[in-house]
Structure 1
Amino acid sequence: MGQPVLSVRGLRKSFGDKVVVKDVSFDVCPGEIFGVLGPNGAGKTTAIRMIMGVMMPDQGEVNFRLNGKTGLLDKTKLGYLPEERGLYDNVKVIQTLIYLGELKGVSTAEAKKRALEWLEVMNLVEYAESKLEKLSKGMQQKIQFIASVLHRPDLVLLDEPFSGLDPINQDLFKELIRKLQGEGITILLSAHQMSVVEELCNRIFLIDKGEEILYGTVQGIKDDYHQYSVNLSFTQGEALHQFLTLLPEVKSLHITSEKADFRISSSFDLNDFINQLTSYCHLERVVIQKPPLHEIFVNTVRERGMKNV
Structure 2
Amino acid sequence: MPALVLDDVSKRYGAFQAVRDLSFQVEPGTICGFLGPNGAGKTSTIRMMLGLQPASSGRIEILGADDGRKVRDRIGFLPEERGVYKKMTPVDTIAFFAGLKGVPTGEGRKRARALLDAHGLGASKTKKMKALSKGMAQKVQLLASIAHQPEFVILDEPFSGLDPVNQQGLEQIIRDLAAGGATVLFSTHVMQHAERLCDKVVLLARGQKAFEGTVTEARARSTRFLELEGALEQAAVAALPGVASVDAVGEGEGGAKFRAALAPGAEAQAALRSAFISGMDVRRFEMREPTLHDAFIDLTGDDPDQDQRQTEIRAEEAAR
Alpha-carbon distance in 2 for matches of 1:133, 1:127:
11
Equivalent residues in 2 for 1:49-198, closer than 5 Å: 49-65=47-63, 69-73=64-68, 74-198=71-195
Task: Give the counterpart of 2:14 among 1, 13, 16.
Answer: 16
Q: Distance in 2 between matches of 1:263 and 1:176?
A: 38
Q: CA deviation at 1:119?
A: 1.1
1:244 counterpart residue number? 237
Indicate the SS of the match to 2:21: strand
Moved more, 144-153 or 272-281: 272-281
> What is the distance in 1 between the residues matched to 2:260 and 2:103?
55
Q: Tell me the SS of whatever aligns to 1:266.
A: coil
Query: What one-letter code is carried by the residue in structure 1 that aligns with 2:224?
Result: Y
- Asked whether the equivalents of residues 238 and 280 of structure 1 are also in contact (C-alpha less than 8 Å), the reply is no
Structure 2 equivalent of residue 265 of structure 1: 263
- Distance in 2 between residues matched to 1:194 and 1:164, nearest whole Å: 15
Give 1:58 shift. 0.9
Contact 1:239 1:280 in 2 (8 A): no
Q: Which amino acid aligns with 1:123?
A: G
**Higher relative contact order, chain-length normalized (CA < 8 Å, sep 6+):** 2
**Cα offsets for 1:63-92 (capped at 9, x unmatched):** 122xxx554330111100000013222322
Deviation string for 1:123-177 (max 9, x for gaps)?
2223222222222221111011101111111110011110111011111111111
Equivalent in the alignment of 2:295: 296
Change (3 A) 1:231 1:179: farther
Q: Could you tell me the percent identity over the aligned residues?
A: 34
In 1, distance between residues paired with 2:59 and 2:284?
51
**Matched residues, number:** 294
- 1:89–1:131 CA contact under 8 A, matched in 2: yes
Q: Is the Cα–Cα contact under 8 Å of residues 95 and 109 in structure 2 kept in the other structure?
A: yes
Distance 1:146 1:251 in 2: 50
Offset of 1:260 from its aligned partner? 4.9
TM-score, scaled to structure 1:
0.87
Aligned to 2:249: 254
Rate the CA distance shift 1:284–1:182 in 2: closer, same or farther, 3 A: farther
Uncovered stretches (5+) of structure 2, i.e. residues with no partner: 303-320
| CA distance, structure 2, for counterparts of residue 242 and residue 117 of structure 1 | 65
CA RMSD, 1 decimal: 2.3
Kindly report which structure 2 residues correspond to 1:214-253, keeping only aligned pairs within 5 A, or say none.
214-225=211-222, 227-232=223-228, 237-244=230-237, 249-253=244-248
Separation in 2 of the partners of 1:91 and 1:150? 16
Alignment partners' CA distance in 1, 2:260 and 2:167? 31
How far apart are 1:15 and its partner, in Å? 1.8
Does the C-alpha gap of structure 1 residues 262 and 145 become closer, same or farther in structure 2, counting only changes over 3 Å? farther
| Equivalence for 1:281 | 280
Residue identity matched to 2:249 = H
Shift of 1:246: 7.0
Q: Contact 1:194–1:294 (CA<8 Å) still a contact in 2? A: yes
Amino acid at match of 1:254: V
Deviation of the 1:229 alpha carbon:
2.5
Query: Could you tell me whether the CA contact under 8 Å between 2:32 and 2:199 is conserved in 1?
Result: yes
Contact 1:238–1:257, Cα closer than 8 Å, also in 2:
no
Offset, 1:285: 6.4
Structure 1, residues 11-55: CA drift from partner, whole Å, max 9, x if none? 211222211111111101011100100111111111111111111
CA distance 1:251–1:260, shift in 2 (3 Å): closer
Which amino acid is the alignment partner of residue 167 of structure 2?
Answer: Q
Work out the CA distance in 1 between the residues paired with 2:236 and 2:173: 49
Q: Is the 8 A contact 2:51 2:67 kept in 1?
A: no
Q: Name the CA distance, whole Å, in 1 between partners of 2:221 and 2:197.
A: 20
The one-character-per-residue Cα deviations of 1:224-283 (angstroms, maximum 9, x if unpaired) are: 33x213244x6xx31354423677712454353536544322254645422332125355
Per-residue deviation, 1:105:
1.7
SS of match in other structure, 1:249:
strand
Q: Would you say the 8 A contact 1:223–1:290 is kept in 2?
A: no
Question: CA separation of 1:283/1:178 partners in 2, compared to 1, >3 Å: closer, same or farther?
Answer: farther
Conserved 8 A contact 2:221-2:299: no
**Residues 240, 280 of structure 1: 8 Å contact kept:** no
Determine if contact 1:240/1:277 at 8 Å carries over to the other structure.
no
Q: Whole-Å Cα distance in 1 between the matches of residues 236 and 44 of structure 2?
A: 49
Matched residue of 1:10: which SS? strand
User: Take 1:38 and 1:272, find their aligned partners in 2: how far apart are those partners?
Assistant: 36
